[in-house]
Amino acid sequence: MDRILRGIMRYRVLDRASMVKQFEQVKDNPVPKAIFYTCMDSRMIPTRFTETSVGDMFVVRNAGNLVPHSEHFVDEMTSCEPAGLELSCIINDIKHVIVCGHSDCKAMNLLYKLKSPEESNIEQRRISPLKSWLCTHGQTSLDKFLAANQDFSKPMLFTAETPQRKFVAYIDPENKFCIEDKLSQVNTLQQLQNIASYGMLKKRLERHDLHIHALWFDIYTGDIYYFSRRAKQFIIIDESSYDIILAEVRRYYS
């Protein structure tokens, strides 16, 4: 708390005045352009690595950047993640939903361990809210990952904006990342499928008026990857790929 309080005092001196001006500019008419789902990991600072500012996007964070499938909605009427979809996509009419996973994700590391029945049994889930959350909402990702049987040379198939609009993904084809990071990438793509399951988004998705994207952040290099449906894999966003990615976004999502 001492560090947080000192930070607030520094903010009052250095940043408060400029931030208040930004608040005033968007006070009556904020126009966010996206909703950004990412992990609650303390190393993830999405507004910093996207260089976004006040009023630019909604941000929803949880353990493992999970968006529960709509099949859970009846039982979880107060779930924050679909409420975020309604607030952003329905009430505020934003056009882009972004899911961002990351390397060395503690939630994904634990989800990988939950493949063991001893780690994921009902007794464990009763005493651990985190295990219960991951077992409930991460199981589809884990099942899809385990079905690959560690042979990631073969493509995985995901449902995109509509059941007829699917995409193929090759997970870490250069084999640069550890097994848990591969699971994190699978999980990130699975959330696109979960988001598309909500009936309230159906019409917008069908008329290509709402678009779903996947990013993945390597926290040890600072590199950010974009899932390219054209390349069928996560590709690093840098000077050599920027124009290619931008052209794909405009082609598929305009």
- For position 78, what pLDDT does the model report? 64
- Give one DSSP letter per residue of 180-221, joined into a string: HHHHHHHHHHHHHHHHTT-GGGHHHHHTT-SEEEEEEEETTT
Q: Could you state, in order of their start, the residue ranges of all structural domains in the chain?
A: 31-105+154-253
Mean pLDDT, rounded, for 106-115: 95
Task: Determine the 3-state secondary structure of 116 from DSSP.
Answer: coil
How far apart are alpha carbons 233 and 216 in whole angstroms? Answer: 11
pLDDT for 193: 95
Element (H, E) at 242: helix 242-253
Q: What proportion of the chain, given as a percentage, has pLDDT over 70?
A: 97
How far, in Å, are 7, 18, 54, 201 from residue 14 at the CA level?
A: 10, 8, 16, 41
pLDDT digits (tens, 9 = 90+) for 68-106: 998 877 655 567 899 999 999 999 999 999 999 999 999
Closest CA to 180 of 114, 81, 99: 114
Report the alpha-carbon distance of residue 160 to residue 189 in Å, rounded: 9
Q: Which CATH superfamily is domain 31-105+154-253 in?
A: Carbonic anhydrase (3.40.1050.10)
- Residues 103-128, mean pLDDT to the nearest whole number: 88
The one-letter code for the residue type at 135 is C
- Interhelix angle 106-113/179-195, rounded to 10 degrees, is 100
